[in-house]
Amino acid sequence: MTEARRRTDPNEFLEAFAHQLRAAGVDVARITTGVPILHPQIFSFSGLWELGKGTSERLFRSGPDATTTMLNSPIRIAYEGGGPVRCDLTLPPEPGEFAILGDLRHEGFTDYIVHAVPFADGSHKALSLATRRPGGFDAGEVALFAATIPAVAFNLEVQALRRTARTLLDTYVGQQSGGRVLEGQIRRGSGETIRAVIWLCDLRGFTNLSEQLPRDELIDLLNCYFGPMCDAVAGEGGEILKFIGDAMLAIFPTGDDAARTCAAALRAADKAQAALAEENHRRETAHRPQIDYGLALHVGDVMYGNIGSDTRLDFTVIGPAVNLTARIESMCRQLGRQLLLSAEFVEASRIEAQSLGVFSLKGVGADQEIFAPTASGQ
């Protein structure tokens, strides 16, 4: 277990833990860990090791189903600091027994133990072990499991802290930006110039909506608008950088293939438009306000890095290309379009697009030709 303490990857740790137990003569065939985490959608993550199958990770989503499952589980007892819970699976099923016991019997297990794993903050996580050996675990093995709990707790807590840090960064900063922060790119002014597709979308009429709608209904509208936008961008490999009031800024770094990246951004835009059209249909049926928005796509060089004060930083993109994207998006209402493209985007994507004219844009030196995608160009 001393060596296992240094293994911070959850799967690697669980594999090493199982290997050490079996090397010590313990006929364990199944091990799980359970750790509730701070996540907007996931209640807990669980490592699963099975003899002959290796390790895998399971994520349990928050919601009524998860709550119901947890109520009839020995893992709940461990999370509450109780136990250990030991179940003799060779006995006949009993009314009201834990739901998992039937599954374990079906898979040929004979003995099942769940331990609470204490963390430094006073909370408890879970460790379960099961065997198929006739007679189950012996007294020495049961004592060994209890003796390993401090080392298991140390490792699971490190895993949980790392996962929480990554989850918070991914949620509030973005997956790619969060990864850079974890790698140590946190010095103010540090960054690099990258070429990227810039995505900027903005909700129309938000000022009036904010004055007319109750708070909860306004928040729901924003979530119904941002949700499809975020899902579409993330689904095509983009990085959501920030929400600016009722606007959203995202990038798709082009790498060595700008045309492919532009195609991904266009697919994301198409998915977002389709999803919001469905949402607006539902809202119309329910006599709720429509979601009206504009979206612009541009390709350019941006500075990608840290800006801010000594104590408060923002990992984002800045540069003339970002400003140009915002100015193009501001033309959506005037041109009666939901999606507008810059000349640079059309050139880089090599798609067919309809020119809507050349326009003078505020804060942009040269006049800009603005395009809309055609059906054949998408």
93-134 pLDDT, tens digit each: 988 889 889 999 999 999 999 999 998 888 888 999 999 999
Q: Are 150 and 156 spatial neighbours (Cβ–Cβ below 8 Å)?
A: no
In angstroms, the CA 74 to CA 121 distance is: 21
Mean pLDDT taken over the chain: 86
pLDDT of 305 reads: 78
For range 298-303, the mean pLDDT: 93
In angstroms and rounded to an integer, the radius of gyration of the C-alpha atoms of the chain is 27
Q: How confident is the model at residue 376 (pLDDT cuts 50, 70, 90)?
A: very low
Distance CA 292, CA 280 (A): 9
Q: Where are the alpha helices (DSSP H) in 26-98?
A: 64-71, 74-79
Q: What's the pLDDT tens digit per position in 144-170? A: 999 999 988 888 888 777 777 776 666
With vertex at residue 152, the alpha carbon angle to CA 57 and CA 120, rounded to the nearest 5 degrees, is: 105
**Model confidence over 160-213: pLDDT tens digits?**
777 777 766 666 666 666 666 666 666 666 678 889 999 999 999 888 888 989
Q: What gap in Å lies between CA 265 and CA 306, rounded to an integer? A: 24
pLDDT digits (tens, 9 = 90+) for 63-72: 566 556 667 7
Average of pLDDT values for 211-218?
A: 91
Least confident of 51-55, 221-225, 336-340: 51-55
Q: How far is CA 69 from CA 74, 89, 283, 374, in A?
A: 10, 20, 33, 50
User: Residues 323-370: pLDDT tens digits?
Assistant: 999 999 999 999 999 999 999 999 999 998 999 999 988 888 888 999
